[in-house]
């Protein structure tokens, strides 16, 4: 019943377009687009190579769009005092909380700085877990100051590895693809809610410990 309703709204002829669009969406990306394409929602499984191809194309397109957009924002922030301050605070927080290793900067300016940034973005994108996809990697590429070519090549190749890993996982669990798709959507939703609530709680001003004391 549900499959027939979905099939009437999203006919199999446009399945490739749906896979392409889902792979471009934040949080879902290729890790959700691949099990979607392999699920029985279309009234029959699509070829694995076709699903992987359109999932990879969608991820690559979103990588270019997000990376160029964030880089443009970073460039515009240089001429805006408020945006520049926000950008500097974000970079400072990320450098202190994420990129430090025993007090030494991982991406210090030096001979191997570009290589370290490339491998960081590549591994980050290749691991198919929530919040580690193309969108987040593109933002991180700008924060760590990686050149456009370095960021784009690392993210696209990392996305290719992620597509292969997800397709292998779906092949192994071929009889549970529908359940896997639902589980991925639930995990991504809960992850977003968790980080959103954490951010909102962090924005609430804390009461002074000395308040009420004489």
Distance (Å, whole) CA 26 – CA 134: 8
In sequence order, what are the residues at sequence separation of 6 or more whose Cβ sits closer than 8 angstroms to the Cβ of residue 140?
Answer: 94, 120, 121, 124
Please give the pLDDT value at position 2: 47
The tens digit of pLDDT for each residue in 68-123 reads 888 887 777 777 777 677 766 666 666 555 554 444 445 555 557 788 888 889 99
| Confidence bin at 43 (pLDDT 50/70/90) | low
Q: How far is CA 89 from CA 83, 84, 85, 137, 143, in A?
A: 10, 9, 6, 19, 11
> Of 101 and 32, which is predicted with more confidence?
32
Alpha helix positions (H), 40-133: 48-77, 81-97, 113-126
The tens digit of pLDDT for each residue in 122-172 reads 999 998 877 788 888 888 888 888 888 889 999 999 999 999 998 888 888
Please report, for the chain, the start and end positions of each structural domain, with discontinuous segments joined by +: 2-203
pLDDT of 187 over the 60 cut = yes
Q: For the residues 193-205, what does the mean pLDDT come to? A: 69
- Quick one: angle between helices 148-172 and 177-203, nearest 10? 130
Percent of the chain exceeding pLDDT 70 equals 70
Distance (Å, whole) CA 13 – CA 42: 9
Please give the pLDDT value at position 42: 66
**Average model confidence (pLDDT) for the chain?**
76
Please give the pLDDT value at position 58: 92
Percent of the chain exceeding pLDDT 90 equals 15
| Confidence bin at 29 (pLDDT 50/70/90) | confident
| Confidence bin at 56 (pLDDT 50/70/90) | very high
Distance (Å, whole) CA 40 – CA 30: 17
| Confidence bin at 64 (pLDDT 50/70/90) | very high
210: left (phi over 0), alpha (psi -120 to 50) or beta: alpha
């Amino acid at each position: 019943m549900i499959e027939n309703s979905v099939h009437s709204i999203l006919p199999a002829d446009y399945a490739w377009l749906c896979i392409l669009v889902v792979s471009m969406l934040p949080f879902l990306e290729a890790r959700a687009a691949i099990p979607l394409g392999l699920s029985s929602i279309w009234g029959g499984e699509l070829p694995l190579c076709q699903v992987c191809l359109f999932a990879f194309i969608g991820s690559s397109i979103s990588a270019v769009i997000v990376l160029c957009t964030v880089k443009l924002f970073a460039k515009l922030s240089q001429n805006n005092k408020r945006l520049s301050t926000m950008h500097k605070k974000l970079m400072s927080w990320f450098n202190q909380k994420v990129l430090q290793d025993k007090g030494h900067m991982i991406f210090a300016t030096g001979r191997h700085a570009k290589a370290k940034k490339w491998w960081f973005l590549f591994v980050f994108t290749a691991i198919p877990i929530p919040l580690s996809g193309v969108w987040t990697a593109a933002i991180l590429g700008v924060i760590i100051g990686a050149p456009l070519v370095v960021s784009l090549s690392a993210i696209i190749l990392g996305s290719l590895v992620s597509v292969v890993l997800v397709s292998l996982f779906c092949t192994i669990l071929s009889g549970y693809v529908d359940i896997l798709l639902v589980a991925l959507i639930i995990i991504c939703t809960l992850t977003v809610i968790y980080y959103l609530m954490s951010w909102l709680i962090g924005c609430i001003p804390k009461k002074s410990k000395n308040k009420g004391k004489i």
